[in-house]
Structure formats: structure tokens, C-alpha cells
Amino acid sequence: MTQSRLSKYPASIQVFVQALVNWWDDWVGQVVLGILWVFAWMTVILGPPVTFGLCYVESRLVRGESLGFRGLVEGVKKYFFKSWLWALANVAVIFLTINGALFYGMVEAWWGAALRILMLSILISWVVVQFFAVPFLMIQEDESLRLAWRNGLFTVLASPGFTLVLLFFTIVFIGLSVVFVVPLFLGFISLTTILFTQAVRERVATFRAIVQKDAEKDQDETD
């Protein structure tokens, strides 16, 4: 599909197609990275660092630079401790929200059900934000997790339709991996990572264009 034809489709579809192309062009390498990611999580301690290392590799890939295993090692070394801060934050949020939902589920009053829904909503929102936050961290000058989470949250709130389409594709990837197992080893983890890395790249470009357009409009009105 040519770039001109692709531009006729919504941004989310463009991102998906471009991610698929990037993944396919480096399919063998992506399969290897996906397998390493699976085995890394089996060790537990290497799970978060390799996740960040994978995002580091894909962040370069969408810019046309294929780092492969060497890039994975670089990313693991660079983000080892930060990735574990991210992992511990996730464990804390998941623990608190799930236990909160279970606790409020035992309350028979109407507000118990309301707070249970709130806890589950916070959990789902947090998980969704993570898909954007880590790719954002890879391109920020200030490699702050707090800033990455804020950027991820802003993206979700500013582009709900865009986010829902990407989540649909992600759920399909996860479903295929769970049902067939084989897709997991064929690089679908890498494809999901490329998808959201590509999405962050597209959203940043879009938001910058909007800001620039507004600035030019204000300048014209001033003149």
C-alpha cells in the first residue's frame, strides 16, 4: 500500500499498517526478540529490563535503524533500574486496585458498587497508559517515569478513538497468542511494541502540527 493511498485512512489504521510493515521487514529479528522476551519473563528479574530493552530497539526501528540483539542489550543496561521502578509501580497499582475492588465488592451499599467500579476503572486506565508511557520514555529528553506516565495519560485522553482502535488490535494479538501460543513466538509481542511505538511517534507529530497551526493562527490574528 503506497503512502498516498494510506493517507486516506484514519491515523490509527495508518499506524497499524506502518507497524506491520516495519515488523515484517525485520521479521526474523523480531521473532528472536519476542522469544527472548518470553524467556526473560520466566526469570522474573530480567522481565522488566528486557521489556524496556525491546521498546528501546523498536524506538530505533521505527526511525529506520535496526539494532537487533545488540540494541536489546544496550536497552537492558540503560534502563535496568528504571524498568524495575516501573514494574514496582505497576505491582503497587495492581495490588491496591484489585484489593480495593474486592473490599468494596463486599459492601452491600450502593456506594460500594460505585467504588468497586472506580477501582477497576483506575486499573484498566493505568494498564492502557502503560502501552504509551514506555515508548514515550524512549524519546523524552527528560527520562522521567512521571513525565512518561503523564504523556501517556494525555495521549489516551486526547485521542480516545485512536487509542481504542490500537487496543482492539492489541487484544487480537493477545488472543491469538493465548489461544495458539505459536504467535507469541512468532513475534507478536514485538509487533505490539512496534504498534505503540509507532503510535507515539505519530501522535507527537500530530500534536506538534496542531500546536504549530494554532501558533501561526494567533500570529496572523496579532498581525
pLDDT beyond 60 at 190: yes
pLDDT beyond 90 at 109: no
pTM of structure: 0.87
pLDDT beyond 70 at 14: yes
Torsion of the alpha carbons at 66, 68, 73 and 77, rounded to the nearest 10:
30
Hey, what's the cell of 131? 502501552
pLDDT at residue number 76: 96
pLDDT at residue number 148: 96
Reported confidence tier of residue 178, pLDDT bands at 50, 70, 90 = confident
The per-residue DSSP string of 76-130 comes to HHHHHHHHHHHHHHHHHHHHHHHHHHHHHHT--SHHHHHHHHHHHHHHHHHHHHH
Mean pLDDT of 7-24: 88
pLDDT at residue number 3: 58
pLDDT at residue number 223: 56
Reported confidence tier of residue 66, pLDDT bands at 50, 70, 90 = confident
3-state helix, strand and coil shares in percent for the chain, rounded to the nearest 5: 85, 0, 15
pLDDT beyond 80 at 21: yes
C-alpha distances in Å from residue 178, one per residue of 76, 88, 171: 26, 25, 10
Reported confidence tier of residue 159, pLDDT bands at 50, 70, 90 = very high
pLDDT beyond 70 at 221: no
